[in-house]
Chains A and B, each alone.
Chain A
């Protein structure tokens, strides 16, 4: 069973290599250009969308951070235990902004 799985894994890696080399050899497809009014809306969406996402994240992270800092101020010895969930919460809220950032990059790529 173990040998079968090892052979299967090596076969998968070999296939991955071949596909990678084939992909890099055949270059990218020609880019399609959009209409200029569509481009204007795409540029507007890229900027505004990220701005609104950042505003919401600023408010959310500010409230979370305020609660964490108040907890540390009341009990300085527990600062390690308060810091870890605070970092996790900040990363979760920030990930929503990151999704919007990825969409903005995609839109800017199409400009």
Chain B
């Protein structure tokens, strides 16, 4: 397994020079952009707003995805859900499409590489603090001090470390699951060619969905923690 794995993107002349996960990430993002554009064009047909079509058309499919995502976000974040739908939904669709593209032969999931997953988790980390400061002002830093003031010298390092561990764990969890899964499928193909990869790929499908779900839930939990008001 020393040679470069074959990907469909290596056939495109410009993208061939980029690192593997970047070119595959671009490819998957292009697919998502095309789907989003087609869905946006469907928004102009307002006469079928009231009565949905009976078969599974493209519009129904897009509405299904958006309703599922925003239902999940509103359940977990309560009334403030609408502001976060854009960020959390985009991250979820990006991670889901990238994970699932690893099951199709010839594609390398962009989340196979630490760079992509840490990019996603660092985005969540910085946006947590941005939302916290936007909500509370400079008093957001009072969270680090803890309940009693004289405990501050102990509490501040502990809180800092636990805050820094969050993006690390988010990124490593996603990377480890997808990369390990890819390696297991590769080894399964090596040992018993057509039989053994099937359970490995079913596990891969399940893991892709669950990891996206867990990433979304944890991001929403961090956002809720940042913008929560203390009720006395």
Interface residues of A (CB under 8 A from B): 17, 20-21, 23-25, 87-88, 91-92, 94-95, 98-99, 101-102, 105
Contacts and interface: CB of A to CB of B under 8 A. Distances in A.
Contacts, number: 46
A99 B19 contact: no
Interface in B19-53: 19, 22
Nearest to B210: A91
Contacts of B214: 88, 91-92
B14 to A, nearest CB: 10
Q: Taking chain A's interface residues, is the majority helix, strand, or loop, or is none over half, making it mixed?
A: helix
B177 A20 contact: no
Contacts of A101: 176, 180
A85 to B, nearest CB: 10
B151 interface: no
A20 B18 CA distance: 6
B65 to A, nearest CB: 19
B173 interface: yes
B211 interface: yes
B17 A24 contact: yes
A98 B180 contact: yes
A95 B17 contact: no
Given A87-B213, A98-B172, A23 B19 contact: yes
B9 interface: no
Contacts of B169: 95
Contacts of B175: 102
7 contacts: A20-B18, A88-B217, A95-B177, A98-B172, A102-B180, A105-B179, A105-B180
Contacts of A98: 172-173, 176-177, 180
Contacts of B213: 87-88, 91
Given A87-B210, A91-B210, A20 B19 contact: yes
Contacts of B17: 21, 24-25
